[in-house]
Structure 1
């Protein structure tokens, strides 16, 4: 059970820049307190100082241990993606605007956005934010404390320089459909997912291609006809990028280590899902050894890779939800799955990659489209953020433990295909 204690739990958020000076941080605090005094309409303000509790003993039912901390609204449509960026939480919807919330008080800090159509993916790296859009473009935003415009647009991919260097040569065009051609550096449909790793930006699209961009100058280096259906999710780790697709496959791409100067990504392996299903999400463990995919049939499948990351064996498949798994995220030993059934499941990973279910989080009134967990510890647990087609963005507290003595009620291992 949860018991109160006399001393408060301090919730400290990471600074936007690791090298920020105290004066910079204090000036930021004063500015945000004056400029963003008002909460967005219909939002629930939660003071993290109220998290004055500790876990004294494992509860009888793990499913009762999470806490709903906030329900934040303000989007014009379904919340499609979210990302953590220092002390900020960014989320986007069917509109072009990206809403920025500031922790820990969850005030709306600002909005930014540009382009046509909805924002499909968000990823942050250092002092940059990369956004993928329905208009087939990637936009790069720089975070700056020295100007009023904190999130400033600095480029759009493909860049004008890259485009002008290729548009005159006919061999640079590819046919997308009858009587229609585009440059190979352009996506021909919505960009659905992004990943950043080792100085490279990866983008996946409904046009079935995977494109690789160089971080230093945003030049497009490669375009790969990766799948037979739309690419739904990307994740990069240890020099390997994994693409999950509507064709029911996760493909692993990496450079040839034998050719030091090569820039081309080769197909390293194919991780097969179930027949006639779509793989909507893919995540990988910190060491790169475990890969999990979430499918339209409600299953989560897991694969174990070898030390060279060129061979993967399936190690588990569990019926995670009654409806499609739409999103997943990993945080330490926990796997989180969001579903069209409006629920979020929390799973504990074992050493061999097997999964057992710890709890089911309910509260959304629509399918759960995006998830992100924070590594910042709060009161013996951590924060989980979720976005839904119900147009809401929710904040949860999840305890950082599992009930090892009573796995029988929630455990699903290996290939035991029991339903919820």
Structure 2
């Protein structure tokens, strides 16, 4: 029973059980709850965040312990269904601090106790014990521990002890008891020695196991170092292959007619690096002076590309990897591994809306003619984006695998899946042509004024004629997946940039289908590209975004 003298302050009540705190603990969310209550739920009832116990709240413990309550022997039950008590006027009148309750109640005169002589006596209050012992009729014989069964009052005890058969052998029994105690003590010491020896044996076994684990760890480190050396050797061979390919490209340029005189303005150089993400940068999108980057750290960073190249804001909200970004009008759309699409205001850089878009991760997004297209596993969904709330229009069917690439050009939508590129009429949303390719899944698509290009799982870039849909060329040179393609067009020429698993970017001249430059500055695979105002932005698994111009 817990009956407070005064009503406790509201801040001392647990928001889960709605009672005064009992063993309060501070949770990872910053709130405090009873220890037992904190184990009954996973999320904080205040802010709905997942929470775990951090440490005991000693300050609240002291405040609760200082509250005055009525002694439990001064309370009576009035409702056993809800375990409700009130003050019993005929019980203990004392009030004590909650923290000192046990000290008082262990000696409370109103506590019910049993007679120490015999449990057959009726239960009584502690204050009546002394009077009872004077008249108790259930006093056992002084030799009851030896087996005497006599029970009586004080007067009969005096008479009985003179004729008690155990009284005459009491000394012998006492000596025997002492010997038994000594034997038990010796046995206990032997058990303790045995326990100590077992402990020593256990420690020895543990040390042997630790030595074995240490040996295994050293072997594992040795294996890891060997694997790292093999990886370094593999990367060196890849770099060597890239350099050889670039030398071959330069040799081709030197011996081909019509290539033109070397122009230093056509050479792209790295002009800077954006650092801030804590995971691979899987997608990039340029809108005006803003560059948006999405990463495995579940964040979208907004970079100023006009003045200081600094991060202006970090957009948070996705619960999975940010895989896709596209801009339309004054809105930014983001797709994530959490299967949602979020809409952001580019003017205010705040979230406007969020929808559950697919049953699987949203891999790619593209906008055109007030329509948003989203790609996922065997699925392309079409959404209307005429207002802040996007609405579902239709799902395009017939896809054979993950849709990782979408490009909208004029009146057509190009989608990449397993060894196929489908061309859709945006006005009717019908598939009007299918391009077959090799090399596994299509990871990237680019469309120029004259060509359709796609990057595949198996190193190659395939090129078709935009008008006739006939194969034109297969661009080789990368060693690994071609993750991204981007087009940079000028009145004089068209260049296509490709980003690959092999840590490089390649620059391709679409006039003669050759690689004119290989860019290597990333420390890992290059997985995303964006083009704006003659500049190329590349995102990599090394957590960085680089600027090329």
TM-score range, shorter chain: 0.5 to 0.7
* Residue aligning to 2:414: 292
**Separation in structure 1 between the aligned mates of residue 506 and residue 491 of structure 2, nearest angstrom:** 18
Residues 374 and 384 in structure 1, CA contact (< 8 A), matched pair in contact too: yes
* Residue aligning to 1:220: 351
Q: Does 1:283 align with 2:283?
A: no
Segments of structure 1 that go 5 or more residues without pairing to the other structure are: 1-40, 56-64, 70-101, 159-185, 257-261, 402-420
- What's the offset of the Cα at 1:144? 3.6
* Residue aligning to 2:388: 263
Segments of structure 2 that go 5 or more residues without pairing to the other structure are: 1-239, 514-549
Residues 497 and 507 in structure 2, CA contact (< 8 A), matched pair in contact too: yes
- What's the offset of the Cα at 1:360? 0.9
CA displacement, residues 47-70 of structure 1 (integer Å, 9 cap, x when unaligned): 9xx899987xxxxxxxxx9x9x9x
Residues 144 and 152 in structure 1, CA contact (< 8 A), matched pair in contact too: no
**Separation in structure 2 between the aligned mates of residue 223 and residue 118 of structure 1, nearest angstrom:** 23
- What's the offset of the Cα at 1:263? 2.3
Q: Secondary structure at the match of 2:487?
A: strand
Q: Does 1:303 align with 2:424?
A: yes
CA gap 1:400/1:134 in 2 versus in 1, 3 angstroms: same
CA gap 1:359/1:320 in 2 versus in 1, 3 angstroms: same
* Residue aligning to 1:406: none
Within 5 A, what are the aligned runs for 1:6-405? 104-145=266-307, 150-158=308-316, 186-246=317-377, 248-255=378-385, 262-275=387-400, 277-285=401-409, 287=410, 289-295=411-417, 297-306=418-427, 311-350=428-467, 355-378=469-492, 381-399=493-511
Residues 413 and 424 in structure 2, CA contact (< 8 A), matched pair in contact too: yes
Displaced runs of 4 or more, over 3 A: 41-47, 50-55
Higher relative contact order (CA 8 A, sep 6+): 1
More strand by share: 1
Aligned residues: 267
CA gap 1:323/1:382 in 2 versus in 1, 3 angstroms: same
CA gap 1:255/1:105 in 2 versus in 1, 3 angstroms: closer
- What's the offset of the Cα at 1:294? 0.4
CA gap 1:127/1:103 in 2 versus in 1, 3 angstroms: farther
- What's the offset of the Cα at 1:303? 1.1
Residues 376 and 382 in structure 1, CA contact (< 8 A), matched pair in contact too: yes
Aligned-CA RMSD value: 3.1
More helix by share: 2
Scaled by the length of structure 2, what TM-score is found?
A: 0.45
**Separation in structure 2 between the aligned mates of residue 152 and residue 245 of structure 1, nearest angstrom:** 32
